[in-house]
Structure 1
Amino acid sequence: MATADAGLRRLLADSGEDRGWVSPRTDLVTALLGLWFGIGLMIDAWAHTNLPSELETFFTPWHAVFYSGFAAVAGWIIWQVLRNVRTGRQGVAAVPMGYLAGLVAIPAFAAFGFADMMWHTFLGIETSVDILFSPSHLGLVATMMLIVTTPLRSAWHAPDVGVRPSLWRLLPALVGLAFATTLVSLFLSYGDALQQGADDVVTAFSDLDRSVWLATAMVITNVITLAPVLLLVRRWQPPFGSVTLMYAIVALMPGAQTTFRNLPILLAFVAAGLVSDLLIRWLRPSAARRGAYWAFAGLSAFATWSLYIGVASATAGSLPSVPELWTGAPIVAGLIGLLLGALFLPDAAPGSQ
């Protein structure tokens, strides 16, 4: 026992070398395994929403996909550390840049997974909004976010990424950031405007009493989806298609929860990503161009929710009957976007014009 403890202490003792970066291909594998992990969560979310009568045990096919995805990405991250240990590195020096938080989150996720199994065994299976407040689920989503954003942290200061990365080089970071956004949207899905169908949008904005929930949900969803894009644009000049890709991934979670019954709304959101990519190309927002950054934040939000209401109205065959709501809601979204832009970039980077 003493020998084992001594060996563990030697392994954890930092050998002092500068931490290195993994290759872009390694980050891509991490992102793809995170994709497996994330899709497993989407399948589980779909099951909780659509098959409540079949959720009588922790051991379900969708939990198998979810936890096997965790095992795959966890094993891959641990393997990157072990490869460095074999070269003589020890402690933190053996952990690649960007991978430390994900590594620490692995045993924490496993502990919350065990707690979740115990919770389901003794307290039952959640089938409604209570699933979003379960302590074990909250622990799982927090640690999962640290794991799936590993490629984002890896790319953040990687010397080969640069200010204007290619879409291929930035792809792992985009996938990680998008899936982190889906996790937030899942646990705030009681305020997710993307789960609404076209008829629901038109009906809600035709009734002042019913409009309150939708207006609130639009604000919540606007902040959840725009904030990661503003983070991305503040750090890099993202290649064309970046926001479209992110929004396509983000749309999968509300799609899974509604069995894609609201497909026109989801496609409108993906189209909004394309509009945002066009705005990035036109305005060239960056940390050094505060005015362009603020303009992008406001216009991107305004365009997103204009498309949302426009596509809903076209699909339903009529405009909402309260004009103040359907004309003013995109303006509110744009103003919130502008405020987020000012919060993310209160002043231009030093040396800007």
Structure 2
Amino acid sequence: MSLRTDLVTAVLGVWFGIGLMIDAWAHSNLDGELETFFTPWHAAFYSGFAAVSGWIIWQVWRNVRAGRQGLAAVPQGYLAGLVAVPAFAAFGFADMMWHTLLGIETTIDILFSPSHLGLVTSMLIIITTPLRSAWNAPDVGARPTLGRLLPALIGLAFATTLVSLFLSYGDALQWRAPRVVEAFSFLDNGGADRLATTIALTNIVLLAPVLLLVRRWRLPFGSVTLMYALAVLMPGAQTAFDNVPILLSVVAGGLAADLLILWLRPSAGRRFAFWAFAGLSSFATWSLYLGFASATGGGLPGIPEMWTGAPIVAGLIGLLLGALFLPNATGQGDLVDPPVDDRA
């Protein structure tokens, strides 16, 4: 598909994703007012689904009218998204029936509802369509420009927000700066345990999509900053953006990751550079997280072992994740050749 087509797909996916963020904001901040499935928040969400699914179906229909038949009518990278469209509609109907018969979830149970899990899984497949399209596109190349890779970055970043939403109970980006400082200042209230756990989990959620892209392409400068800036929108919506310093620290972590890519040049053919990037970018992100929290939340936490050791633990987890993504160099030099064509 052309860049323009993928960009439209990505923009409509943004509509879809922001609709979910609005719904997440409502569930987090208007608990007592959600008594029915038919709400303005659901309207924003499902209208986004209608827009992006209609666009995907239209691309297939155009090819059918041009004489292509069967799978040949499905644009490269769009098959999985096309299959996910009716799946999402089915889970949407199931969600309506679930709410009608069993009521509206208002706490952590919303993240474990079977209909919601089906919705988020099919939604993730739909909004990552531009990524799959770009993965094998002949005009992308091993060193794409930021503009050419933009639809893929947007799609994967919004997919990251979906994962963070359904792991909200372990999301370090929802903490406010004073609470971060307090948690790492005392050991007897359980706050330090909870914060350390959420940092470890959120580190994986943020880093894994980046490592996937770094393994495939030499990312242009600004890619990780853009992805992290989009990734913080979901926890921002859930907290009504009451924790802006924490969110900004993660965006700063994305900038640090972009600088590390310029310095280390990580790729599938440079295993040790890839591992170093995974570890150092995690260390930088969570050092900035604690630095921003300390600067805006009342000073350094009271337990030096926690605020000095937490970024190191994050870096070690990043290093391990890098080794899992790339246990061996590909032997294909600095960058990887395009993989075999796969329409899904």
Same fold, judged at TM 0.5 (above) = yes
Greater relative contact order (Cα < 8 A, sep 6+): 2
Q: Which whole-Å CA distance do the structure 1 matches of 2:197 and 2:292 have between them?
A: 19
Partner of 1:136: 115
Moved over 6 A (4+): none
Identity over aligned residues, as a percent? 77
Partner of 2:183: 204
Which of 283, 286, 305 matches 1:305? 286
Partner of 1:125: 104
TM-score by length of 1: 0.93
Q: 1:187: Cα distance to partner?
A: 0.2
Answering whether residue 133 of structure 2 is matched by residue 154 of structure 1, we say yes
For residue 299 of structure 2, give the secondary structure of its aligned residue in structure 1: coil
Q: 1:52: Cα distance to partner?
A: 1.0
One-letter code aligned to 1:90: Q
For residue 350 of structure 1, give the secondary structure of its aligned residue in structure 2: coil
Q: Which whole-Å CA distance do the structure 2 matches of 1:287 and 1:215 have between them?
A: 31
Cα deviations by residue, 1:291-322 (Å, 9 ceiling, x for unpaired): 11111000000000000001101101211111
Answering whether residue 86 of structure 2 is matched by residue 86 of structure 1, we say no
For residue 259 of structure 1, give the secondary structure of its aligned residue in structure 2: coil
Partner of 1:249: 230
Q: Equivalent residues in 2 for 1:237-276 (5 A)?
A: 237-276=218-257
One-letter code aligned to 1:277: D
Q: Equivalent residues in 2 for 1:103-122 (5 A)?
A: 103-122=82-101
Partner of 2:262: 281
Q: 1:91: Cα distance to partner?
A: 1.1
Q: Which has the higher Rg, Structure 1 or Structure 2? A: 1
Q: Which whole-Å CA distance do the structure 2 matches of 1:309 and 1:286 have between them?
A: 29
Which of 218, 221, 236 matches 2:202? 221
Which of 98, 101, 114 matches 2:80? 101
Q: Which whole-Å CA distance do the structure 1 matches of 2:297 and 2:194 have between them?
A: 19
TM-score by length of 2: 0.96
Q: Which whole-Å CA distance do the structure 1 matches of 2:211 and 2:332 have between them?
A: 21
Q: 1:33: Cα distance to partner?
A: 0.1
Q: Which whole-Å CA distance do the structure 2 matches of 1:91 and 1:243 have between them?
A: 37
Where does the alignment leave 5 or more consecutive residues of structure 1 unmatched? 1-21
Partner of 2:42: 63
Q: 1:152: Cα distance to partner?
A: 0.2
Structure 1, 200-209 or 254-263: larger mean CA deviation: 200-209
One-letter code aligned to 2:90: A
